[in-house]
Amino acid sequence: MAYWPGLGSYTLDDEHAMWTATQWGEHLEDPLLEQPFVASPQGDRRAIFHLDVRLHPDDRELTGTEWAEAAHRLARAAGIEVPGEATGCRWIAVQAQPGRLDLIANLIRLDGSWHTQPAEVLRHLSAEARRIEQDLHLVPVRSTPRPQAVARHAPTAATQLAAILAQLADEQTGPLATVRGLVEHTAHQVARQPGAAGADTAHRLELIARRLYAVQQDLGDTAGHLSAAVQPRVAAAPPAVRHAAHRSP
């Protein structure tokens, strides 16, 4: 869907449009081979940065141009792409699933240095995602309507705990979803390594990702049960109002 500006100097005409997934992966991993002594400030060489963004289930389908715009804006928010800089990081954005965009970058820059992301990179990405939602007229993350009867009362402790559990289980912005995505990406990378050991490790990582998904489901169910437990404390709407409510097709 999108890629770093310097890719054209590595290809002939539109050659990159015909690359396979393996070739794209090798292109992103090349800096690790070309710069064997570059390491992060912590001394490791885990140079692959992976960010996935997903649409709200009620969002409209975006065009390729809109996805590309979102990818470039998020790359700039993460500090991976700096307009006018010729020695930045290699990155691409792909769409392997509908409604989802994966931005993958190598943190080793073209000049051989290690790209150090801002300390508040997650806050920058979150703020940019909210601006993209507004600019593209998408469903905001926290737009779930609340009944007026609930809004008139201060939230109870049970309501607050249910909200925390729901946030943990959220498939769009929840921390467990982010961790699961990283585990799935690592499993994919490990599976490409030669030998039976790589395949076994990849399988174990896939099982871990499945368990994380099961934990998300359990947290979501628990949040629902906790919310339902406090519902009787809220006055029910009059029958006339309740029957008058309708949903458009």
Q: For 38-71, how does the pLDDT look when each residue is reduced to its tens digit (9 = 90+)?
A: 888 888 888 999 999 999 888 999 998 999 999 9
Q: Is the pLDDT of residue 162 over 50?
A: yes
Average pLDDT over residues 87-92: 88
Contact 52, 71 (CB under 8 A): no
Nearest by Cα to 91 from 110, 81, 105: 105
Contact 141, 130 (CB under 8 A): yes
Residue 169 pLDDT: 78
Q: Is the pLDDT of residue 73 over 90?
A: yes
Q: Is the pLDDT of residue 159 over 90?
A: no
Percent of the chain at pLDDT > 90 equals: 19
Per-residue pLDDT band at 244 (split at 50, 70, 90): very low
* pTM across the whole model: 0.55
Q: Give domain limits for the chain.
A: 2-135, 148-244
Residue type, 77: A
- Is residue 50 helix, strand or coil? strand
Contact 169, 220 (CB under 8 A): yes
Per-residue pLDDT band at 92 (split at 50, 70, 90): very high
Q: Per the structure block, which two tokens stand in for 94? A: 């792909």
